[in-house]
Amino acid sequence: MENSNYQQLTRTFQRLSRFSHLSAIAGWDMFAMMPPGGSTARGEALAELGVLQHQILTDKRVGEWLHNALSEDLNDVEQANLREMTRHYQQAALLPESLVEAKSLAGSKCEHAWRTQRPANDWAGFSANLKEVVKLSREEARLRAAEKGCSAYDALLDIFEPDMTSARLDVLFADLKSWLPDLLAKVVDKQSRETLITPQGPFPSATQRELGLEAMTLLGFDFNAGRLDISAHPFCGGVPEDVRITTRYDENELLSALFGVVHETGHARYEQNLPRQWLGQPIAQARSTAIHESQSLFFEMQLGRSNAFMKLLLPAIRKHFGAQPAFEEANFIAWNQRVKPGFIRVDADEVSYPAHVILRYEIERALIDGDIEVEDIPALWDEKMQAWLGLSTKDNYRNGCMQDIHWTDGGFGYFPSYTLGAMYAAQLFQAARKALPGLDSAIASGDFSALFNWLGQNIWQHGSRFSTEQLIENATGESLNARYFRDHLTARYL
């Protein structure tokens, strides 16, 4: 089988994987290290690399090999890999090279300018760049939708979340909308009667970093294959052999950087434990963005905000920042589980978080489907924030519609994966608890080995071998069921 069609494909995808590696590390450097003057040159270099990958992937021989490989004698794993190869090929073949390049350049330009425009609250400057990104994203969506026979938005959603549709999201989100506002109001009312002591800063960034590194160590991050840095927007990037995570520090606030690190460590552990025997092949990649988010939220919310884990963190917090009254156990736990609707998505508590996601989903879908224009975003954002969380973002673009990085490079269709991820995380944690009877006491003693083995066996080691639905069914015994998320929030907060 040395020169079978399937072998030709595996060699091609191995090459593509190596270029993706370079692209990922150059992208990480652009966000974490690069001086501002390098922006244009880096944007052009990444666009060039993107075009090269597109040329390799859409070569007509790849199409022929994919077709011919269907009749070759392949085992289950190879068939799954062929399915994923075909998906990558079909998604790329729909787009002309010129659009791939233009989109990459527009995204780099918009993202780089956003870094200074956001602090300056400069909506006019930002929206001028965003219009170009939206124009190109709509063009991409139109080409994909024509081929798939679906709506423009669904065509982009499929890139991040294969087989998910906005019709299905609407059902899931309508269910959330039916009970979440009431739960949120009850929790806020209940907590308003509790007097809490606020942690007193300043909390020096260098010390916060030390604390973050200790939390990463506790959670099993492999520092031989990854590192922690600073960026304007926290993210997890790089490749499974070299995972780069970032956070941002605020010296007046202790918890957002710490839990940002815990969140990104969840992403990183998934990447570091993807199936090494298939590395370089599409089947070795993470299943989808919602499954990726389920891992980060599993770490940050299910595990990280649990009473047992916070008790475990307290000695390190006292060691670094002193034994102040706010770090008394009951106060610290209550402070961490405080539900307080706010402007910023990445700092939101887990009860109000879905509101931030549904708001963005509704706006980006209308934008891609052509029902609204970029100019309409601020007013819609304000209206939805007032309806959901009782907060106005009028003229506050920095903490409103300019706060996220995702739209700057055309990541439309990504946002729903955060709330899908929270639902998957709740369902997975419930299944793990059922499978591991002593889980809570193990967490309290700092022993996560059984929990991480369970994740490794049920999620991490499978990469993209199964569809999302199959993966979740195999792990939990049923397909996505939002009841677990509701039960989790009710149990923890009411």
Q: What are the catalytic residues?
A: 264
> Do 432 and 299 form a contact (C-beta atoms < 8 A)?
no
d(C-alpha 395, C-alpha 101), whole Å: 34
**Torsion on CA atoms 149, 150, 151, 154, rounded to nearest 10:** -140
**Torsion on CA atoms 273, 276, 281, 285, rounded to nearest 10:** 0
d(C-alpha 468, C-alpha 473), whole Å: 9
DSSP assignment of 294-318, as one string? HHHHIIIIIITTSHHHHHHHHHHHH
> Do 356 and 422 form a contact (C-beta atoms < 8 A)?
no
- To which H or E segment does residue 187 belong? helix 166-192
Residue 297 CA from chain centroid, whole number = 9
Residue 222 CA from chain centroid, whole number = 20
> Do 247 and 234 form a contact (C-beta atoms < 8 A)?
yes
> Do 224 and 274 form a contact (C-beta atoms < 8 A)?
no
Fill in the DSSP letter of residue 236. E
Alpha helices in 193-238 (DSSP H): 205-218
CB atoms within 10 A of CB 315: 10
Token output for 93: 């073949």
> Do 392 and 268 form a contact (C-beta atoms < 8 A)?
no
Pick from 407, 352, 414, 412: nearest CA to 385: 352
* CB neighbour burial string for 371-391, b if at least 16 within 10 angstroms, e if fewer: ebebeebbebbbebbeebbee
Task: Classify residue 195 by burial, with Cβ atoms within 10 Å: 0-12, 13-18, 19+.
Answer: exposed
AA identity, residue 258:
L
d(C-alpha 396, C-alpha 381), whole Å: 10
d(C-alpha 366, C-alpha 251), whole Å: 38
Biggest CA pair distance of the chain: 71
d(C-alpha 89, C-alpha 66), whole Å: 9
CA angle 260, 256, 390 (to 5 degrees): 115
